[in-house]
Structures are given as C-alpha cells and as structure tokens.
C-alpha cells in the first residue's frame, strides 16, 4: 500500500500559481529539481519536482507520476529564482517556470549523425564522382554523409552506391558540441591605465566567489568589455560557468569574433534567431556543465546553469532588459537576484548607467568601478547643439545646412557619417490635405506609419499593415495625401538627393529578416563599405565602427516628447550611446544634435559631457515627486474588449485599495495607448515610499478587488519602464 509519504510536489509550466501533488511508486525517490512527466486532466505534461511540501488530499484524488527523466534537473538557485520572480512580479509561478523549461524533445538524447568511412576495397568501376568521394576519405577519416556529398559535389546515390559495393561502411557520428571550451589566456590584451586596477578588481571578485554587485561605469570606448573579459577569464580558470547578458541587437558577429580572438572559441549564443533544436541542445549542455560561457539576450537568465561563477549585464541601462508581456520582469534586476542566490558577483556595465543603478551605488548596495577616459586616451566626441529655432532646415527638409556641411567634411576625408533618427518608416502620420482625414490603426489608438519601401501603412503597436492608399478613403481625392514628419526612410530619401553618388546604408529593424542579415550589414559598415549610415536605435547599441567619426541626430527632442518619468534619462542614454559611436578609434569624433530646446538639461549634459550634473539634476527632479529611486512605482493596466467593462473594473480597483501610509494611487485614466489590439485600456499608477513591499500590497489589493471577469484583464507592472 502506498503511503502518504511517497508524495511529491510538481510545478507545471502552465498558468497556475502553485505546485500540484503527485504520487511516486513505492521505493522510488526523487530530488527537488528533477524533471518528471505527470498527467494533467486529459493531457500529459512535463514538470519539475518542487520544494513545497505535498498536500494531504485523499489518496483517490492523487495521480501517479508517469516518468522520471534521469539526469535532468533544474538547479537549486534557478528554482529559487523562479519562486522569487513569480512572487516579485505577481506572475503565475508556472508561467515563470515555462521560461526555464524546454519542450519534451529537449530531454531526448542528441540524435547521432550518419557517417561513412572507407574500409573496403575500391569499387570495380571507378568514375570521377566516385574518385572525388574516395579522395576525401583517404587516410580513414570519417565523414558525415551530407558533408561528404556537399564537399565532393556528388549526389547521395554515389555515396550509397559505394556503401552497397562494400567500399564504404556506415557508422554513427556524434554531433559537434554546441560550444568548444574557451581558453582563459588564449590571447590577452595588455590593459591600460585605469583598466588595470579595474580588471584586477573584477578578477578578484570572481575568485572570491561571494555575492558582489559591481557597476562598471565607463565612457564609450573605455574598454569595459576588455575589462569584464578579465572576470570571464578568471571564471574559466576556476572552471565556473559565465553568463553574459547583452541586448539582443548588440549580439553581433563583431562581438562574437572579439570573444573568439580573446578566448580562442566563440561562446554559446542564445537569442531569438537560434533554432529551437539548437536551443534544446544548449539548454541541456548548460545543465550538464558542458558549456562554459553563454552570451545571450534577456531570456538566457533562466538557463539551468549547473555551476555559475559570474553574471555580466552589458549595457545594463538598456530598456530591452525589461520584458513587457506575460511575465513582466527586468532581467537586470533578476540577474542581481540570481547572483545573490548563488553568492557570486554580478557586473553591470554601461556608459550611461540607469539612474537606479547609480542610486544603488550611492546607497552602498553596489560598488562602482569607473573608467573615465577612452582606451589610449582617445578623445570623446565633441558635441555641438544646433538650435533649430534659429537655423531651421529648408521647408520640407529635415537636415540643416550645417549638418550637411559636416557630413560633407566627414565623407570627403574618407570617413563615415551616421544620421540618427529613432523612428522607423517614412512618416509617422499621413493626412488628407483636402478633408483632414488621418490614417489610424483600426485596432489601436495610434496613427499608421507610412513605410514607403514596403508600400504599406503600419501600426507600430500591433503590427497591423495595409497597402499604402492612392486616394483618401473619406473624400476620395487623389493627390491630396501628405506625409507628416520624418522617419528614417524619409531621411534616407533626402540624403540620397544630396549625396547621390555616395554609398548610403539604411538600418532599421523592420528592414531585416532576422539577425543574420542585420549582422551582414553591420559587418559591411565595420569594414568601411558605407559612406553614410542612416539608422534607428539599432545602430546606437554597442557597435564599434572604426571609421565612423560623425554622428548627426536629426531630432534630439524626439524622446523627450513622451513626458513620462524616464524620458530625460532615456534620451540621455540613447543620445549618449549613439554619439559615442563617433571617433572611437580616431579620437576625432563629432556629434551634432538638432534640437528645439538646446537649454534642456539633457542637451546641456550631452554637450558638456558632464554626466554627473545630469544625474544629479534628474535625481533631484525625481526626489521632488517621490519617483524611483526615492519611491516605488507599480502600474496597473486594465483592459477589456469594451470600454464600460474596463471602467467598471478600474473603478472597483481604485475603491478596493487598502489604506496604507505614504501610498498614493493615481487614476484610473485612459492609457496613452487607449486602445491596443482592439482592447480598451486604462491605467492606475501606484506610488509608495522607498522600501515598501509593493508586491505584498498588490497581492492584498487584488485579493480584495477580486479577479476580473469576462474579457477583462489586469496586468501588473512592478517598477514600470514603459508608461504607454
Ligand atoms: P567599451 O566596452 O567601454 O565601449 P571596448 O572594450 O569595446 O570599450 O573598447 C573600445 C575599443 O578599444 C575596442 O576596439 C577595444 O578592442 C579597444 N581596447 C580597449 N582596451 C584595450 C586594451 N587594453 N588593449 C587593446 N585594445 C583595447
Ligand atoms: Zn494597431
């Protein structure tokens, strides 16, 4: 008779908040973390043995574990991280687990590849195709069949024919490992100036193997990457695993090659362009400690590292670390949590750190290491503010005469210029001059953006596309539609008129089918093929274009227009990053910002390079109104297919808020994006003092209000970054 003691808790990757209880066969035991198959209603699912105590339901209601996958387990720290993340973000634990687990295919052994060797006599009849195959197999080397076919340039039937004749025999070959072992000292660079102590410090931090949060704050081109490679090297020496998080866009060939030239091999990569099968293999290899270094986008944080030694978060200020759907979490913050759970160091690197991280340094929670000058004391770019009120471009144009002159000077010297505008497409609004009709998304409260290159109008919020119109749908006038405002395509059009004989490259995320193509374009720019690059945000991040010496910002005020609490910080970071592309090698970089508000503290800070004054100003502003880091925020977004339902639940929420000292609730009000994907949206903003348990409060609050019904949804965003 099975006893109640042979029960276990299993967390399933489905939208549930707690582990379920299952029964194990007698005499079999499992450890927390092990992966098992269990029934769930009519289905069978993969789950993870969880640390919670099983419950004491009657024996009849408990189902049996169906299968135990030996050798597969989620490590301790990852389970704790999952609990922690779910608790902090108010997400279902099962949904957080889903980010850490793979489908069942990943639990199968890697398939073997079919290969051949020559171990028989030559065939009776020799053909040139056969000869090519046999030449390659000379010396007894084993080849995969497909590799042999492609290299010899023959059809598979030639190879199979030789097998049939007894000249070759088949065998099974193992797959190539997902990543080779890196070598800590494959090729070290001599560190320089402040890099020396900083590198030494980070190396020691890894070797101490204690929790240690370090902000590596260094201007663009100061060698932050070079320096954190010292930490990577030390971890490799200690045979520890390393996770380097980067914004997906920065995961370029140039970065991987740089890693390979330092450590001898490329790291394992983890991002959206890696196939599911490859990801399954990396996941497994990471779990078995067969992969030492993973460089990955946000989601790599939930990989099952067996023996992590350090986490590095490059460009720690980057908004891409915040996941805005399903589980709403900030990978930088959760990286610090994971480092804490593991008692290992975490290194946050940036040229423009987030205000939160700077404040954590001031509070003594993080240490700060600074690199104040560029490598070899290369000068930082010289930034000019161009007052668009005093000296605007010609009507209908976007580039001022001064900007054009500066680009000319740059390309005449054989160097590269970058024109930056953080807006995709041709124009952000299309309007009918006759009747005033504006093209709006049918499903969102947003204008449609014209993409002339694709001949479409697109909604940048939901992805709706429609063909570009020939006539106004309201007044039916043709020749009456005008494009309002510029996007990168329009800047490209203007640039192609001015510099018709020059090589111009446009980089915008909507123009690429995947990372591979983008990487090719970036490689081409790095090798100097383009004279002028025109791009959005994606060119700003971390790239190193040796010949780029001029960066012109078409509309420096663009990011300030949103008016959300982080607008100034974000603008400072984006423009600091993008102008930081200039003169990284030559030291003769120039930045040129077209602005209608040259007196704005952001513009002033960029022009003078006085980062500390900017941070101080921004912190003072936030202090006045109790914004983070002086207080805490959470956003509650209520949405439903109709407005009355939204209003009803949003008001119910506002009424049910528990009373608590120092807490303020603003709203409900219509969200700036009042309709998204045909759902109406309202927002409440919750503000509390520093140190307040926001997650706990939210739990009590939502319990009192009760779950939304029907089509109504409530989304809770702790520490919001976006305010749309
Ligand atoms: P950051 O990450 O701070 O922007 P990088 O580490 O990318 O800076 O360094 C900027 C450039 O300077 C890179 O091309 C890098 O190869 C070079 N560099 C920096 N430090 C060194 C060093 N100690 N030895 C050789 N090259 C260096
Ligand atoms: Zn839309």
Give the position, in ligand 1's atom list, of the atom nearest the Cα of 195.
23
- Rounded to the nearest angstrom, the distance between the alpha carbon of 320 and the centre of ligand 2 is 21
The two three-digit tokens of residue 65, written as one number? 């574990």
Backbone angles phi, psi at 136, to 5 degrees: -70, -30
Residue range(s) occupied by CATH 3.30.70.600 in the chain: 631-718
Which ligand number lies closest to the CA of residue 541? Answer: 1
Ligand 1, residue 227: give the atom nearest the CA: 6
Q: Which residues, in sequence order, are bridge partners of residue 534?
A: 419, 506
Return the ligand 1 atom nearest residue 351 CA: 3
Q: For residue 258, give the ligand 1 atom closest to its CA.
A: 16
Ligand 1 pocket test, candidate residues 221, 379, 542, most atoms within 8 A of CB = 221
Which atom of ligand 1 is least distant from the CA of 191? 23
Cα(191) to ligand 1 centroid in Å equals 9
Looking at residue 102, its pLDDT comes to 95
> Counting ligands in written order, which one lies closest to the CA of residue 461?
2
What is d(CA 295, CA 242) in angstroms, rounded to the nearest whole number?
8
Atom index in ligand 1 nearest the CA of residue 222 equals 3
Delimit the CATH 3.40.1440.60 region(s) of the chain: 4-107
Distance of CA 197 from the midpoint of ligand 1 (Å):
15
CA 124 to chain centre: 59
631-718 belongs to CATH 3.40.50.150: no
Q: Which ligand is nearest to the CA of 458?
A: 2
Protein residue closest via CA to atom 18 of ligand 1: 223
Residue from 197, 198, 226, 227 whose mutation best tests the ligand 1 pocket (most atoms within 8 A of CB): 226
Q: Which ligand is closest in space to the CA of residue 581?
A: 1
Residue 350: is it exposed, middle or buried by C-beta count within 10 angstroms (0-12/13-18/19+)? buried
| Closest atom of ligand 1 relative to the 220 alpha carbon | 4
Substitution site in 215, 216, 375 for ligand 1 pocket (most atoms within 8 Å of beta carbon): 375
CA of 439 to the centre of ligand 2 (A): 11
Which residue's CA lies nearest to atom 10 of ligand 1?
221
Residue 321: per-residue pLDDT? 96
Q: Which residue puts its alpha carbon closest to atom 11 of ligand 1?
A: 221
Q: Is 577 left (phi over 0), alpha (psi -120 to 50) or beta?
A: alpha
Name the DSSP class of 189: P
Tokens of residue 15, six digits = 């939208």
C-alpha to C-alpha distance for 403 and 267, rounded to whole angstroms: 41
Nearest CA to ligand 1 atom 14: 544
Ligand 2 center from residue 456 Cα (angstroms): 14
Q: Record the tokens describing residue 268, joined without a space.
A: 């394992």
Q: Which ligand is nearest to the CA of 259?
A: 1
- Which of ligand 1's atoms lies nearest the C-alpha of 226? 6
What angle separates helix 224-237 from helix 194-208, to the nearest 10 degrees?
A: 30
Residue 564 pLDDT: 83
Query: Which residue ranges have their beta carbon within 6 Å of ligand 1?
Result: 189-192, 195, 218, 220-226, 375, 544
> Which ligand is in closest contact with the Cα of 446?
2
For residue 186, report the phi and psi dihedrals to the nearest 5 degrees: -55, -55
Q: In which residue ranges of the chain is pLDDT below 70?
A: 1-5, 512-514, 542
CA 263 to ligand 1 center in whole angstroms: 15
Determine the atom of ligand 1 nearest the C-alpha atom of 218.
Answer: 3
Q: Which ligand is nearest to the CA of 314?
A: 1
Residues whose Cβ atom is located within 5 A of ion ligand 2: 441, 443-444, 459, 461-462, 464
CA-546 nearest atom, ligand 1: 14
Give the ligand at the shortest distance from the Cα of 228: 1
225 CA closest ligand 1 atom index: 6
Atom of ligand 1 nearest to the CA of 189: 24
Q: Alpha-carbon distance 383 to 609, whole Å?
A: 8
C-alpha 467 – ligand 2 centre gap (Å): 15
May I ask the CATH architecture of the domain 113-173? Answer: Orthogonal Bundle (1.10)
Contact, 74 vs 33, CB < 8 A? yes
Neighbours of 306 (CB within 10 A): 16
Which residue CA neighbors atom 9 of ligand 1 most closely?
223
Q: What is the pLDDT of residue 85?
A: 98
| Residue 101 CA to ligand 1 centre (angstroms) | 36
Cα-to-centroid distance, 694 and ligand 1 (Å): 41
- 298: CB partners within 8 A, 6+ apart: 245, 248, 320, 321, 323, 331
* Concatenated DSSP letters of 255-310: HHHHHHHHHSSPPEEESTTS-HHHHHHHHHHHHTT---EEEE-GGGGGS--SSEEE
Q: Which residue has the CA at smallest separation from atom 19 of ligand 1?
A: 223
Q: Can you give the pLDDT at residue 1?
A: 42
Taking the centre of ligand 2 as the mean of its atom positions, its distance from the CA of residue 451, in whole angstroms, is 15
User: Is the Cα dihedral 182, 183, 189, 195 positive or negative?
Assistant: positive
Say which CATH topology domain 194-376 has: Rossmann fold (3.40.50)
Spacing, Cα 571 to ligand 2 middle (Å):
25
- CA 49 to ligand 2 centroid distance, Å: 41
Distance 374 CA to ligand 1 centre (A): 8
Just give the CATH number of 378-423+486-620.
3.40.50.300
CATH 1.10.10 location in the chain: 113-173
Q: Which helix (H) or strand (E) holds 491?
A: helix 488-498
Residue nearest to atom 25 of ligand 1 (CA): 189
What distance in angstroms lies between residue 298's CA and the mean position of ligand 2's atoms?
Answer: 26
pTM: 0.88
The number of the ligand nearest the C-alpha atom of 675 reads: 2
Torsional sign, CA 281, 286, 287, 289: positive
**CA 713 to ligand 2 center in whole angstroms:** 19
The predicted structure's pLDDT at residue 512: 67
Choose the residue to mutate in 202, 215, 220, 223 for probing ligand 1, maximizing ligand atoms within 8 Å of C-beta: 223
Q: The CATH number of 4-107 is which of 3.40.1440.60, 2.60.40.3140, 3.40.50.2300, 3.90.76.10?
A: 3.40.1440.60
Q: How far is the CA of 284 from the centre of ligand 2 (A)?
A: 39
Residue span(s) of the chain under CATH 3.40.50.300 come to 194-376, 378-423+486-620
How far away, in angstroms, is 595 Cα from ligand 2 center?
A: 29
Contact indicator for 454, 511 with CB cutoff of 8 Å: no
């Amino acid at each position: 008779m099975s006893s109640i003691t042979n029960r276990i808790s299993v967390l399933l990757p489905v939208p549930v908040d707690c582990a379920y209880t299952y029964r194990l066969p007698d005499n079999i035991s499992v450890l927390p973390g092990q992966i098992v198959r269990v029934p769930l209603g009519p289905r069978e699912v993969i789950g993870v043995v969880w640390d919670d105590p099983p419950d004491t339901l009657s024996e009849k209601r408990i189902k049996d574990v169906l299968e135990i996958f030996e050798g597969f387990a989620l490590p301790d720290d990852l389970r704790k991280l999952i609990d922690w993340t779910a608790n902090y973000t108010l997400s279902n634990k099962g949904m957080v687990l889903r980010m850490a687990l793979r489908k069942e295919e990943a639990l199968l052994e890697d398939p073997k590849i079919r290969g051949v060797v020559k171990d028989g006599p030559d065939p009776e009849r020799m053909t040139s195709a056969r000869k090519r195959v046999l030449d390659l197999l000379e010396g007894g080397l084993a080849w995969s069949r497909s590799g042999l076919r492609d290299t010899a340039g023959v059809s598979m039937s030639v190879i199979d024919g030789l097998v049939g004749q007894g000249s070759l025999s088949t065998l099974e070959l193992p797959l190539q490992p997902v990543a080779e072992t890196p070598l800590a000292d494959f090729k070290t660079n001599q560190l320089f100036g402040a890099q020396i102590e900083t590198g030494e410090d980070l190396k020691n931090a890894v070797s101490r193997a204690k929790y240690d949060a370090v902000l590596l704050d260094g201007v663009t081109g100061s060698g932050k990457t070079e320096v954190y490679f010292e930490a990577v090297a030390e971890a490799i020496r200690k045979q520890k695993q390393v996770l380097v998080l980067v914004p997906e866009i920065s995961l370029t060939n140039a970065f991987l090659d740089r890693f390979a030239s330092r450590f001898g091999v490329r790291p394992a990569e983890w991002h959206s362009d890696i196939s599911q099968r490859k990801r399954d293999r990396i996941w497994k290899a990471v779990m078995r400690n067969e992969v030492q270094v993973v460089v990955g986008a946000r989601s790599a944080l939930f990989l099952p590292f067996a023996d992590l030694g350090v986490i590095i978060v490059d460009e720690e200020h980057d908004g891409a670390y915040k996941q805005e759907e399903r589980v709403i979490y900030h990978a930088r913050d959760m990286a610090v949590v994971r480092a804490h759970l593991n008692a290992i160091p975490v290194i946050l690197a940036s040229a423009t750190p987030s205000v939160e991280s700077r404040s954590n340094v001031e509070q003594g929670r993080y240490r700060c290491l600074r690199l104040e000058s560029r490598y070899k004391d290369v000068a930082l770019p010289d930034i000019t503010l161009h007052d668009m009120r005093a000296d605007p471009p010609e009507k209908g144009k976007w580039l001022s005469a001064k900007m054009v002159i500066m680009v000319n000077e740059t390309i005449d010297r054989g160097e590269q210029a970058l024109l930056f505008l953080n807006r995709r497409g041709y124009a952000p609004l299309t309007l009918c001059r006759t009747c005033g009709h504006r093209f709006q998304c049918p499903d969102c409260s947003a204008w449609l953006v014209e993409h002339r290159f694709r001949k479409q109008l697109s909604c940048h919020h939901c992805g709706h596309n429609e063909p570009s119109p020939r006539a106004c749908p309201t007044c039916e006038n043709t020749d009456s539609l005008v494009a309002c405002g510029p996007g990168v395509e329009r800047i490209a059009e203007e640039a192609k008129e001015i510099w018709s004989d020059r090589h111009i490259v446009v980089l915008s995320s909507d123009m690429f089918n995947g990372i591979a193509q983008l990487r090719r374009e970036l490689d081409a720019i790095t090798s100097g093929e383009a004279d002028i690059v025109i791009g959005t945000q994606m060119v700003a991040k971390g790239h190193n274009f040796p010949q780029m010496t001029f960066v012109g910002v078409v509309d420096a005020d663009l990011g300030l227009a949103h008016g959300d609490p982080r607008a100034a910080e974000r603008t400072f970071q984006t423009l600091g990053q993008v102008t930081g592309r200039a003169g990284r090698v030559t030291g003769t970089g120039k930045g040129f910002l077209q602005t209608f508000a040259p007196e704005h503290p952001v513009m002033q800070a960029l022009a003078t390079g006085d980062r500390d004054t900017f941070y101080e100003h921004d912190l003072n502003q936030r202090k006045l109104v109790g914004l983070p880091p002086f207080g805490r925020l959470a956003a509650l977004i209520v949405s439903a297919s109709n407005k009355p339902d939204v209003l009803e639940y949003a008001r119910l929420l506002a009424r049910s808020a528990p009373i608590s000292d120092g807490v303020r609730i603003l709203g409900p009000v219509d969200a700036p994006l009042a309709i998204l994907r045909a759902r109406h949206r309202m927002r409440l903003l919750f503000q509390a003092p520093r140190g307040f348990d926001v997650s706990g409060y939210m739990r009590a609050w939502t319990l009192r209000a009760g779950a939304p019904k029907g089509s109504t949804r409530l989304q809770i965003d702790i520490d919001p970054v976006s305010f749309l």
